[in-house]
Amino acid sequence: MKITLLGTGTPMPNPDRAGAATLLESGTQRVLVDAGRGVVMRLSAAGVLPVMLNGVIITHLHSDHITDLNDVITTQWIMSSGPTPLRIYGPIGIKRVVDGILSSLEPDISYRLEHHQDSLTWRPTVSVTEVAPGDTFQLDELHVTVGRTDHQPVEPTVGYRIHHDDKSVVFGGDGLPCPELDALCSGSDVYVQTVMRDDLVRQVPNKRFLDILDYHSTVEQAAQTAARGGVKTLVMTHYIPGMQRGQEDEWREIAARHFSGTIVLGDDLTSTTW
């Protein structure tokens, strides 16, 4: 299995960090987790195009996790050689989001169908499955378990544990530690989690920014979740506030006080293989 951090940024625009998105590759399987700003460009840089994806899974419906889902849908459609479905999984509400995206793309769809009458004869083919905690599903060779996460008042939000052969990885998305996330992580090889430096956030005298303190895992909390779950590797991403270059060791050291396994973090396109 290989994890590539496609986007490690926040909703605040940053030329060096795309929006929240992660790529899982396992054998011939490729899955995109979340679809934040710039995701298709980062996919391309990682050597993967939307047409090569086995599926897309979405953790929750905050805009910074879905803002470029439209680009994934359009690019997969225009690069396909036939009406191959793009499979999208997400919490209750994802179907309404995708329906809205397709509605907004309707002028573009009609233009392309009219212009390419001999080579593009099908509309975007999207298969949407809404999932809930406790669900399991098969994504080709990958077995996926869905678990509840705590990102309230955002509801519902879900995490995913993906198995292939004898390996597994958990995508926690955003949110706080909770018993359901602990259960999802238990015994997994790798745990991928959004992390926040609350000490840095508290230095910004902005009420709206300070509000995020109550629904994101701190670096310490993510490390503690990894330790409780006995996972081998903690992958930190979606850094809040944006991690500055040269601060990597500082963030890693904070996590290492609570977790003795491997800790992975860094710029967009940072990857780890196991």
Q: 69-127 pLDDT, tens per residue?
A: 999 999 999 999 999 999 999 999 999 999 999 999 999 999 999 999 999 999 999 99
Burial per residue of 54-75, b for 16 or more beta-carbon CB atoms within 10 angstroms, e otherwise: bbbbbbbbbebbbbbbbbbbbb
Q: What is the pLDDT of residue 274?
A: 96
Percent of the chain with pLDDT over 70: 100
Secondary structure of 123-151 in HEC code, one letter for each residue: CCCEEEEEECCCCEEEECCEEEEEEECEE
Picking from 23, 25, 74, the residue whose alpha carbon sits closest to that of residue 51 is: 74
Q: Is 268 a catalytic residue?
A: no
Model pTM score: 0.97
Domains in the chain: boundaries: 2-273
Give the model confidence (pLDDT) of 134-167 as tens digits.
999 999 999 999 999 999 999 999 999 999 999 9
pLDDT at 83: 94
CATH homologous superfamily of 2-273 equals Ribonuclease Z/Hydroxyacylglutathione hydrolase-like (3.60.15.10)
Mean per-residue pLDDT over the chain, rounded = 97
pLDDT tens string 188-199 = 999 999 999 999
Q: Which of 64, 68, 150, 174 is catalytic?
A: 64
* For residue 17, pLDDT beyond 90: yes
Tell me how crowded residue 23 is: count the other CB atoms within 10 A of its CB.
Answer: 23
Instruction: Using pLDDT thresholds of 50, 70 and 90, give the confidence band for residue 205.
Output: confident
At residue 135's C-alpha, the angle toward residues 98 and 75, to 5°, is 30
Contacts of 148 (CB under 8 A, 6+ apart): 133, 156, 157, 158, 159, 178, 180, 181
